[in-house]
């Protein structure tokens, strides 16, 4: 249970660094920079990253795993694609290539990616997935009821990040990102204590805003579950657990540096997690976005479009579910 709590705090803090709104002048300036990049008619992107996991056994042995990943992408208005590859230098894992396309209403991912992920777990891919003859599976995002267009347009506004933060954390949350601004360069440096404090505030704010999140993003959470999560986040036990979590993460650091110009954006993210009685997790990631000319995107033609509910059924192991399919040509 302690490990689950620790990892929950880690993930919340890491995501918060990238998405949380705040009220300091540096945060507002950062939000303005983000809105400027969102207004670019087209963007070419690249990502290079390295994940290292070192697990310490009770007998003193260590298990190490490294995964390198790289991605290239392009976005023009509401259409985009990304090609992402994963490499295990030791050759132990064969992680499949991810190819994804979006036309603004439907997100398509190559079927072979899902099949490859299944094989990594040592299991056969679900029968429903294998029965699909098309090369790409598209999930209809409109069917979820979430207004993706509204969210995207929000991010082009000067205070878009702040407003999006209010959607996630509520309008009364006492949250701010500890940016240090130097011209158009923004840095964040967190240690274990700062990471836990930031994550705790974010978790409480999110829990207290679950009713709005549930309706806005169509999460389908029952009222009883929302009440339970609110009660847990606001309980004395939650606050009492923070010192223990801080101690279990002693030595942890999370750092980011983001630099903006009129025509490009770069980001360096470094996360070094020191987890007591577990080991270490280190993640480095470099991202670049460049303002680009608008060009057409050639979408895959061998596609199957399904709803989220239908997709979930396809991914059930050993399912006999059959969904009528057709090859949809969506070349743009």
Locate the domains of the chain by residue range. Answer: 2-105+141-300
pLDDT given at position 19: 46
Q: pLDDT averaged over consecutive 10-residue blocks of the chain (332 residues)?
A: 42 45 74 88 97 91 96 94 97 95 94 93 89 95 61 61 74 80 97 93 90 82 93 95 96 97 97 95 97 96 93 76 43 36
**CA–CA gap between residue 101 and residue 69 (Å, rounded):** 18
* Closest to 220 (Cα-Cα) out of 146, 139, 319, 294: 146
What is the DSSP code (8-state) at residue 92?
-
Do 241 and 234 touch, CB atoms closer than 8 A?
A: no
Global pTM value: 0.83
- Going by their DSSP bridges, the two strands 79-87 and 62-76 should be labelled as antiparallel
- Give the C-alpha distances (Å, rounded to integers) separating 302 from 47, 100, 102, 133, 298: 27, 13, 14, 8, 12
pLDDT given at position 155: 60
- Going by their DSSP bridges, the two strands 136-140 and 106-110 should be labelled as antiparallel
């Amino acid at each position: 249970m302690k490990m689950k709590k620790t990892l929950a705090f880690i993930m919340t803090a890491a995501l918060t660094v990238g998405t949380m709104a705040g009220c300091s002048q540096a945060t507002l300036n950062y939000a303005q920079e983000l809105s400027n990049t969102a207004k670019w008619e087209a963007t070419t992107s690249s990502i290079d990253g390295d994940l290292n996991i070192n697990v310490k056994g009770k007998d003193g042995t260590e298990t190490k795993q490294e995964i390198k990943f790289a991605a290239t992408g392009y976005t023009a208005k509401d259409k985009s694609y990304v090609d992402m590859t994963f490499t295990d230098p030791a050759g132990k894992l064969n992680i499949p290539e991810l190819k994804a396309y979006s036309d603004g209403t439907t997100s398509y991912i190559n079927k072979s990616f899902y099949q490859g992920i299944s094989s990594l777990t040592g299991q056969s891919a679900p029968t429903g997935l294998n029965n699909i003859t098309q090369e790409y599976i598209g999930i209809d995002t409109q069917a979820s009821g979430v207004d993706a267009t509204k969210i995207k347009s929000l991010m082009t506004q000067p205070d878009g990040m702040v407003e999006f933060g209010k959607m996630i954390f509520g309008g009364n949350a006492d949250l701010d990102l500890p940016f240090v601004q130097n011209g158009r360069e923004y840095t964040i440096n967190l240690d274990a204590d700062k990471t836990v404090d930031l994550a705790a505030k974010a978790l409480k704010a999110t829990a207290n805003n679950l009713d709005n999140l549930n309706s806005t993003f169509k999460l389908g959470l029952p009222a009883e579950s929302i009440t339970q999560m609110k009660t847990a986040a606001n309980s004395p036990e939650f606050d009492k657990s923070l010192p223990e979590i801080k101690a279990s993460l002693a030595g942890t650091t999370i750092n980011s540096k983001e630099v903006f110009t009129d025509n490009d954006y770069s980001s360096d993210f470094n996360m070094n997690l020191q987890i007591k009685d577990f080991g270490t997790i280190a993640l480095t990631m470099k991202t670049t976005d460049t303002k680009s000319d608008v060009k057409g995107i050639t979408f895959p033609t061998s596609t199957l479009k399904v709803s989220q509910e239908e997709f979930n059924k396809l991914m059930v192991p050993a399912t006999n579910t059959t969904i009528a399919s057709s090859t949809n040509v969506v070349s743009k």
